[in-house]
Structure 1
Amino acid sequence: MSRDNATAMSEREAAEALETLGLSNYEAQVFVTLQRLGGGTAQGVSRHSEVPRSQVYGAADDLAERGLLEVIESSPKTYRPVELSTARQLLTERLERETTRAFDTLEELRASDRSPTGGDVATLRGRRPIDDRIATLVADADSTVVFVSPTAESLAETIATALRDAASSGVSVTVVTAEPSLRDRFAGTEIDVFVMSEDNPADFAGRALMVDDRTVLLAAETDSSPVEEEALWTGDSSIGRILAAFMRSGMESGRERHRGGPSGHERQ
């Protein structure tokens, strides 16, 4: 790749990054070009970028209003970018303000009941959103929670906190796992930890949650690269009650098999 092509690609990448920080396409190109030139007129910026001269003026004025350019009142008018450290701070602060404003507004608009209705099934993708959904469902429990956590890593701290809070409020909470260390993690709580022994192993397909025998969430890793987690869940519905019945039956069957072997179930 020639140096000119490499430079063009670097400028394009920088402009694209600036767009994610809130600049328009023309604003980003003008700012990047002025950084490379150190300053220039609208004609000079247009000559060294893909921004038409007629569009440079508006983009430069907008950048100046944001505090990202100095305008030198000469003839012709000349533009000079502020220091990168200043630009970084201004754009970061603006992004934080806009993020706060957007999510404050969304919080006000959000419906209080976000559960699927009837026989609907909702899907989620990504570990963090799934962790958050599990924690929310646990927090909404009235009587029982069963969480299947194949490994210690399957149980994020947000979920662990929600399980402890539910148990302390009188909800019957059971954690099913193949990881004995979870006994220690919930020591001193009212949470039942049911550990599948080597003599009676569990073939976990992924994580699972059952709340009040009617709400069920099932999550499993995908074959994509990089590996992600996908989940489906259903609220107080006929599908949820059917899935809950299967989970309850499987757990009771596991308990029965366990009674014939080494003890793997301890009340914490």
Structure 2
Amino acid sequence: MTPNESEALEAFERLGLTSYEAKVFIGLHQIGSGTARDVARVVDVPRSQVYSVAESLEERGLLEVQQSSPIRYRPVSVEEARTTLEERFEREQERAFDYVSTVKQEPNGEETQEDIWTVRGRSRVDDRIADILSAADRRLLFGARLPELVTPQIEQTLEKRAAAGVEVVVVSSSDAVRDRLGALDGVTVDTPPAHRESDQRSGRIAIVDDDSLLLSVVDNDGSETAIWSSNSLFASVLIQLIEASDETLEKSN
């Protein structure tokens, strides 16, 4: 069995076919049509099993049966099979998620969400930051230590929120970040407090409307991990602590 054939069999199994079903379907396409004996000669499926497998494939709409003696089988075209499996996948997906929607627990008024979440991986942090910034109604602060942490998606989100009348402030020790984002209409740039200049592990910060917060750190290998919280008491308190700490240390200096 070639590696490509092995991968194809695994793919068919992920689409819902059994190993034998996938082998018989592929085998029939190899020979065009044939009896159970013919199929067993080209695929690793016992002849005694071909009959029940073929019956299952017929029920799935993936092959046709010629009522002759002996019985012959013919696979449907590749395009017809592709459409059949796609439609089945869509039906099963709809059925599965419709059920989840009916049983998921709705907020009971006491607590709408967990206080704090963790996100790992650069692309996932990118998406979470963009989501948090997009929800800003009054004010947002975005900070990034490194230019590569400012994605086009984040840049576009900052520009859109500024155009919507949101107060947008960008903080960075990087000239490149300040120059790039400072060129956006309605965006104010600033440098971080002096006591944070030596920080070499921080990644990004996003503060939105005093009730949503994301903080990330960048590891030595460049990977990024963030904690975030939105519309929670945890976020409000942490934001107050960060702002109070910066103000106190700046005054002491």
3-state SS of 2:161 partner: helix
**How many angstroms apart in 1 are the aligned matches of 2:92 and 2:155?**
28
Deviation (angstroms), 1:124? 3.0
Q: Distance in 2 between matches of 1:142 and 1:124?
A: 24
Contact 2:130 2:154 in 1 (8 A): yes
Whether the 8 Å contact between 1:27 and 1:62 is mirrored in structure 2 is no
Mark the CA change 1:236 to 1:193 in structure 2 (over 3 Å): closer, same or farther.
same
TM-score w.r.t. structure 1 length? 0.66
Are 1:206 and 2:179 an aligned pair? no
CA contact (8 A) 1:119 1:239 kept: no
2:228 paired residue number: 233
CA, structure 1 residues 160+12, in 2 after alignment: closer, same or farther (shift >3 Å)?
same
- Does the 8 Å contact 1:177/1:195 carry over to 2? yes
- Per the alignment, do residues 76 and 118 of structure 1 end up closer, same or farther by CA in structure 2, a change over 3 Å counting? closer
Mapped contact 1:45–1:56 kept (Cα < 8 A): no
CA distance in 1, matches of 2:212, 2:250: 22
Q: TM-score, length-normalised on structure 2?
A: 0.70
Q: Which residue identity lines up with residue 164 of structure 2 in the other structure?
A: S
Partner Cα distance (2:92, 2:218) in 1: 30
Structure 1 residue identity aligned to 2:50: R
Matches within 5 A, 1:1-268: 7=1, 10-45=4-39, 48-50=43-45, 52-63=49-60, 65=61, 68-82=62-76, 84=78, 86=79, 90=83, 94=87, 97=90, 117=112, 120-182=115-177, 183-195=179-191, 200=197, 202-221=199-218, 229-249=224-244
Letter in 2 for 1:208: I
**Would you say the 8 A contact 1:21–1:95 is kept in 2?**
no
Q: Is the 8 A contact 1:26 1:59 kept in 2?
A: no
Shift of 1:62: 3.3
Q: Percent identity?
A: 30
1: distance between equivalents of 2:30 and 2:6? 12
Q: Which residues of structure 2 form unaligned runs of 5+? A: none
Whole-angstrom CA distance in 1 between matches of 2:242 and 2:167 = 16
For 1:140, the aligned partner's letter is A
Per-residue deviation, 1:61? 0.2
RMSD: 4.3
Q: Secondary structure at the match of 1:206?
A: strand
Deviation, 1:103, is 11
Question: What secondary structure does 1:49 align onto?
Answer: coil
Measured in 2, the distance between the counterparts of 1:256 and 1:98 equals 63
- Count the aligned residue pairs: 243
The structure-2 alpha-carbon separation of the partners of 1:169 and 1:9, relative to structure 1 and needing over 3 Å to count, comes to closer
Q: 2 CA distance for matches of 1:217 and 1:81? A: 54
Decide whether the 8 Å contact of 1:26 with 1:56 is kept in 2.
Answer: yes
- The separation in 2 between residues aligned to 1:162 and 1:168, in whole angstroms, is 10
Alpha-carbon distance change, 19 to 239 in structure 1, aligned in 2, over 3 angstroms: same
Q: 1: distance between equivalents of 2:203 and 2:9?
A: 41
Deviations 1:205-245 (A, max 9, x none): 22222222232122345689xx7544321223332123313
1:235-260 CA distance string (max 9 Å, x none): 23332123313443566589889xx9
